[in-house]
Amino acid sequence: MNQTIQFIKMHGVGNDYIFVDTSRYPIENPEALSIAWSRYHMGIGSDGLVLIGRSTTPDADFTMRIFNADGSEGLMCGNASRCIGKYVYERGMTDRRDIRLRTASGIKMLHLTVSDSGTVESVSVDMLAPILEDKRLFQPDGEPLPQGVFVSMGNPHYVIFVDDIDAVDVAREGAALEHHPRFPQRSNIEFAQVRDDAIRMRVWERGSGITMACGTGACATAVAAAITGRCTRHTRVIMDGGTLDIDWREDDGHVYLSGPAVIVFEGTAKLPSAPADILPR
């Protein structure tokens, strides 16, 4: 008989994931499960699957593994990490409002803003310092690329500034650039237009395609805009799913990402009995 597990679907400004507490429900094949569950119409529908675990080392409180809709494992997701902060606090898994989360790109600090009723209203994530050169993720020489800025926020991003963001064919251009040979591990692609009081950004996420938002992408876009003189180090990034506040602080050089996390629904689902039960995306 197939095992039935509980999940919760959450989103950060439209970037939606399926979350499973692996301390209650161990997952043996998350790559295939992410493909199956992320499918709209034939699955739950999401940008991917996130596994929440309790840390076995004293330097972190919880762990996160994230799998994209195509089954590939990601390094980090700002929106998913904010959702985890809300999940573990409101589920009584911790009473801390400052949480250490271990990800594949290092430990991230989450700060929760909690109402008097105990509801997590927003979460701020210390995304650490951006990396502007990393030959493992970006080859500076090679086949031509559209003019842009490479920024790693624990995962690779290539930010392209445009005059009219609504005229960009994100699906066509993003898909082509994700697999460009100068990105050895593929890349997230951001298209951004700087406006008077904010940055409008659309994103093609590696492994997921067009998404409503991307937390690390918003951070990378804000950093790219600041270093090219297009905006200050504190700005707002407006995406299809909503707006995030980005503060690239001068005192420690870290990027801080702030915004809401929202519970969409909870449910139960059966694990496929065999890999053959999982349809390709």
* Residue 137 placed within a domain: no
Q: Which residues, 6+ apart, have CB-to-CB distance to 250 below 8 Å? A: 233
* Residue 134 placed within a domain: no
* Residue 269 placed within a domain: yes
Give every residue of the chain whose pLDDT is below 50, as ranges.
1, 275-281
Side-chain-facing half-sphere of 251: CA atoms under 13 Å: 2
* Residue 138 placed within a domain: no
pLDDT at 84: 98
Residue 144 carries which side chain, given as an amino acid letter? Answer: P
Domain count, the chain: 2
201 and 270 belong to one structural domain: no
pLDDT at 271: 81
Question: How far is residue 252's CA from residue 244's CA, in Å, rounded to a whole number?
Answer: 20
Q: Domain of residue 75: give its range.
A: 4-127+261-277
Residue with tokens 């870290």: 254
**Catalytic sites, residue numbers:** 77, 214
Q: Which residues, 6+ apart, have CB-to-CB distance to 116 below 8 Å? A: none
Residues 139, 140, 144: CA angle, nearest 5 degrees:
95
- Confidence (pTM): 0.88
Q: Per the structure block, which two tokens stand in for 144?
A: 């031509």
Q: Which residues, 6+ apart, have CB-to-CB distance to 28 below 8 Å? A: none
40 neighbors 22 (Cβ within 8 angstroms): no
160 and 115 belong to one structural domain: no
Q: Per the structure block, which two tokens stand in for 143?
A: 């086949």
97 and 14 belong to one structural domain: yes
Element (H, E) at 89: helix 78-90
Question: How far is residue 197's CA from residue 231's CA, in Å, rounded to a whole number?
Answer: 9
pLDDT at 273: 63
* Residue 139 placed within a domain: no
187 and 271 belong to one structural domain: no
Question: How far is residue 200's CA from residue 221's CA, in Å, rounded to a whole number?
Answer: 10
117 and 34 belong to one structural domain: yes
256 neighbors 247 (Cβ within 8 angstroms): yes
103 neighbors 109 (Cβ within 8 angstroms): no
* Closest to 176 measured CA to CA, from 144, 141, 135: 144
pLDDT at 280: 44
The string of pLDDT tens digits covering residues 177-186 is 999 999 999 9
Q: Would you give the DSSP letter of residue 277?
A: G
245 and 272 belong to one structural domain: no
Q: Are strands 98-103 and 62-68 parallel, antiparallel or unpaired?
A: parallel
95 and 16 belong to one structural domain: yes
The string of pLDDT tens digits covering residues 189-212 is 999 999 988 999 999 999 999 999
155 and 185 belong to one structural domain: yes
Side-chain-facing half-sphere of 36: CA atoms under 13 Å: 16
Per-residue H/E/C for 206-243:
CCCEEECCCHHHHHHHHHHHHHCCCCCCEEEEEECCEE
Residue 77 CA: distances (Å) to CA of 12, 52, 167, 211: 10, 13, 27, 12
Domain with 26 in it: what CATH number? 3.10.310.10
pLDDT at 137: 96
41 and 115 belong to one structural domain: yes
79 and 189 belong to one structural domain: no
117 and 154 belong to one structural domain: no
76 and 44 belong to one structural domain: yes
